[in-house]
Structure 1
Amino acid sequence: MHTVFRIGEVRQIDKKLSLYEVDLKLTSDDDQQLRQLTDHIREESSGSSGWHRIDDPKLANIYNNIAVTYNDMGDYSKALEFYEKDLEITKKALPSNHSDLATSYSNIGQVYNDMSDYSRALEFYEKAHKIYEKALPSNHPNLAISYSNIGQTYNDMGDYSKALEFYEKAHQIYEKTLSPNHPSLANSHLNFAACYERMGDYAAALKSLLSAFQIQKKAFQESNPAFASTYSWFGRVYRNTKDYSKALDYFEKCLAILQKTLPQRHPNFGITYSNIGDVHRLMGNYERALSFHQKALNIQENVQCNSLNCATTYTNLGETYREMKDYSTALIYFGKGLEIREKKLPKNHPDLAVIYHNMAKLYLGTLKYSIAKENIRQAVEIAEEKLPSNHPHLLDYRETLEEVQKKL
């Protein structure tokens, strides 16, 4: 959804069912032809003639297409502008309970989610969901997608129990309506894996990942872009279980697929470089870690990306410099990461606890114990509120708190 591709190769994979697999290459955010097309459609639709002679529903569709293009280019404010124009026309042209109106609300919710404005994203996703519940059968795929969207937003907000609740509702619909090897079921398992990984239940995350992977192996060829996300989540889980060689292997598999399917400066490269850099840090390969984090920043600071991904790279860089005992540089990067996360995330988000913990360890290393205590208490308070009682992060934070208290 919200992507523009060029078609590479088309292969028939099931003659009886007339099923085909299509190799797609995502256009870059600075694709010249894409920009020309966007400018042309925008010009044609903004005057008092031409497109304005078309009836409103068709004009709404044009606005929607322009919005999709801007969203793919990472220009979320422009995407929002045209989605709102689409919504304005759609509200006048269709009944208030029409499913197309729900789609318009959902599109706006997606943009707000991409902008990390999660409260607004939820507001529009819930408007869409109320319409879907009235307009569609209880097992309709769009209803499952709606549940997944809401679940994703709760997951991004750090409310993992709520996220699981909505992911489960979506999964139940998929299981009832889709074949066992349908790609949407694989995506559903990936949603579970992402949530379990954040909750620190790595065994459950691996189980969900394996379920997704088994479906994808039957549905796609090995080079399919769908595997990139799965490999990345495998890497995250193995990194958390301290199996760094496996983590690195999966992140590199993810990178290999991205290199075949995406433009060189796509934001997903930044995420993957940062993940690889973090594994090298954990293995003690600090120069390699710095090299990959810099590759990530070269993309994230110069291409329109989700700023929270940039915050993660800053945090990883800060932790690398802290372990190298370059505390002044580490503090600079922790500050950059903290500024973004405090601006974008709820005050009790677990990702804030991560930085508070990192800064506590830094101040512990520089013998500033009172400041260390202030930071680690914030980390513990957030983790106790938002994470399971046996979460590895919470256990680490409490251990650091005890260490700080012994120094006071």
Structure 2
Amino acid sequence: MGFYFAEVRKLRRELQAAYGAGEYKKALILGKNILQKYMENDDANTMEYASDMHNLGVIFDTMGMYPKAVEYYKKAAVLKRDCSGESLSYADTVNNLAIAYNNMGEGEKARRFHGEVLKIREAKLGKDHPDTIYSLFHLGNTEEDLQQYEKAVEYHQQALERARRSTDFSKEDMADIFASLGAAYDGGGNYRRSISSYEKALDFMEKAGVEESFCYMIWTLSLAEVCEKAGWNELAVEYCEKAVQMRRKMMQDSHLDYINSLNSLGILCCKAGMFAKSLQCHEEVLRLVQEVLGSDHLFYADTLNNMSADYSGMNEMEKALEANAEALRRKEAALGQSHPQVAVCYMSRGRLYEKMGRDTDALAAYEKALLIRRDAVGRMDPLYADTLEQIAGLFTAKGAYEAAAEYLQEALYIRR
């Protein structure tokens, strides 16, 4: 190593300080200057050079510039392998490369590199080392991204089994695995096991004393979504409400993430038959949307339409029709009369009329929605089939079975 390396060490310290302070552009300049020093001294074929190239990839990675990160990780990995074979340092760089491919949505490439890292770490660190376990974890997440849910579950279960044997695996790390297992079960449609896994993830976070964290809140929301899919609406409301309360502590009421979560809570409450609570949520959403986005925003119209469902649940049908009419007026003004979102309001209006026994008005509203959806999304779209089935249900309720059958046959053809 030449005398220039004292200058390289100085630049590294400056880079670390800039990176720690979030000054990533400055860190990039310093990183490139470091590599230039090696080039000027004809010393760009060493492990030290490879490590500094890896560090530059990390900066690009942190900035979300994944193609550039991949470029530097690849070069660093090749040089590390040339200098010291398939070492742990080489595996670390390949691991970062695989995760960058994950972030780019290139799951097949990510899978290949995660598999390579797993083999190296198992051979050099053992099967129960935390780094080896995390390679299994990353493979599981990659399989989930590729919608290979059974394989994802298999990897996560292996990671979990080894983590339980390890004395170096933290409660937060265990929570990570359980949450990913919950997501994999959810993707595969096994909602009971998904719920159980998410609950265990939250339990580990609580034991670690970090329940007031962003991860805990996100996993609570995910748990609410799975409970809704499983048809456990009251439990979904319980978890969603908990997540909304946490989100309110973490951010201002005007933050869109909070408003969206509150809106989701309102929708869940409506599904669970908690109409007064649902209306309360949506009234708050309406106020916040008006303050943050304005009353001309589509979110405002959507909220009015949600409130019409709340009023319907409370049998306040005139208020329900009034809220629906206002939502419809605003959507037509913003989007035109032939937009699919306008059809959503007509579908809601039809259900209100149907509940009121105004079947002729209900049929007219459904037919209006059918016409819009035919022109906007086509006759072979599931939304068109939804409308046909709604009309068929209206005819069936009145004993007009032949008319209902025609609509159902067309809907069935589309579904097939």
TM-score (structure 2 length as normaliser): 0.58
- 1:170-194 deviation digits (Å, cap 9, x = unpaired): 1111011137963221211111111
What's the RMSD between the two structures over aligned residues? 4.7
Q: How many aligned residue pairs are there?
A: 305
Is 1:137 aligned to residue 126 of structure 2? Answer: yes
Is 1:366 aligned to residue 372 of structure 2? Answer: yes
Q: Counterpart in 2 of 1:343?
A: none
Match of 1:200 among 183, 189, 193: 189
- 1:255-280 deviation digits (Å, cap 9, x = unpaired): 357549xxxxxxxx887765555555
Kindly indicate whether the alpha-carbon contact (under 8 Å) linking 1:174 and 1:185 is maintained by their aligned counterparts in 2: yes
SS in 2 for 1:149: helix
CA drift of 1:291 comes to: 7.3
SS in 2 for 1:366: helix
Is 1:252 aligned to residue 244 of structure 2? Answer: yes
Query: 5 Å matches for 1:4-19?
Result: none
CA distance in 2, matches of 1:51, 1:365: 73
Q: Counterpart in 2 of 1:116?
A: 105
Q: Counterpart in 1 of 2:157?
A: 168
CA drift of 1:235 comes to: 3.4
Q: Counterpart in 1 of 2:351?
A: none
CA distance in 2, matches of 1:238, 1:163: 21
Q: Counterpart in 1 of 2:396?
A: none
CA drift of 1:205 comes to: 2.0
**Alpha-carbon distance change, 219 to 317 in structure 1, aligned in 2, over 3 angstroms:** same
Structure 1 spans left out of the alignment, 5+ residues: 1-28, 261-268, 297-313, 333-361, 380-400
Kindly indicate whether the alpha-carbon contact (under 8 Å) linking 2:286 and 2:304 is maintained by their aligned counterparts in 1: no
Kindly indicate whether the alpha-carbon contact (under 8 Å) linking 2:220 and 2:240 is maintained by their aligned counterparts in 1: no
- Letter in structure 2 aligned against 1:93: C
CA distance in 1, matches of 2:38, 2:172: 45
Q: Counterpart in 1 of 2:10?
A: none
> What is the percentage of aligned positions where both structures have the same residue?
16
Kindly indicate whether the alpha-carbon contact (under 8 Å) linking 1:227 and 1:254 is maintained by their aligned counterparts in 2: no
Kindly indicate whether the alpha-carbon contact (under 8 Å) linking 1:277 and 1:289 is maintained by their aligned counterparts in 2: no
Q: Counterpart in 1 of 2:204?
A: 215
CA distance in 2, matches of 1:363, 1:75: 44
Query: 5 Å matches for 1:92-131?
Result: 92-95=82-85, 97-131=86-120
Is 1:41 aligned to residue 47 of structure 2? Answer: no
CA drift of 1:43 comes to: 2.8
- Letter in structure 1 aligned against 2:233: K
Match of 2:233 among 242, 250, 264: 242
CA distance in 1, matches of 2:242, 2:165: 32
Q: Counterpart in 2 of 1:154?
A: 143
Structure 2 spans left out of the alignment, 5+ residues: 1-18, 271-277, 307-326, 342-367, 386-406
Kindly indicate whether the alpha-carbon contact (under 8 Å) linking 1:229 and 1:254 is maintained by their aligned counterparts in 2: no
Q: Counterpart in 2 of 1:62?
A: 52
Kindly indicate whether the alpha-carbon contact (under 8 Å) linking 1:225 and 1:257 is maintained by their aligned counterparts in 2: no
CA distance in 2, matches of 1:233, 1:46: 47
**Alpha-carbon distance change, 147 to 214 in structure 1, aligned in 2, over 3 angstroms:** same
**Alpha-carbon distance change, 406 to 72 in structure 1, aligned in 2, over 3 angstroms:** same
- Letter in structure 2 aligned against 1:182: K
Kindly indicate whether the alpha-carbon contact (under 8 Å) linking 1:251 and 1:272 is maintained by their aligned counterparts in 2: no
Q: Counterpart in 2 of 1:390?
A: none
Q: Counterpart in 1 of 2:70?
A: 80
CA distance in 1, matches of 2:377, 2:79: 55
CA drift of 1:157 comes to: 1.8
CA drift of 1:372 comes to: 5.7
Greater RCO between the two (CA within 8 Å, min separation 6)? 1
SS in 2 for 1:178: coil
CA distance in 2, matches of 1:78, 1:154: 24
**Alpha-carbon distance change, 235 to 62 in structure 1, aligned in 2, over 3 angstroms:** farther
Higher strand proportion (structure 1 or 2): 1
Q: Counterpart in 2 of 1:336?
A: none
CA distance in 1, matches of 2:304, 2:145: 27
Larger Rg: 2
Kindly indicate whether the alpha-carbon contact (under 8 Å) linking 2:99 and 2:110 is maintained by their aligned counterparts in 1: yes
Kindly indicate whether the alpha-carbon contact (under 8 Å) linking 2:172 and 2:208 is maintained by their aligned counterparts in 1: yes
Higher helix proportion (structure 1 or 2): 2
Match of 1:91 among 61, 68, 81: 81
TM-score (structure 1 length as normaliser): 0.59
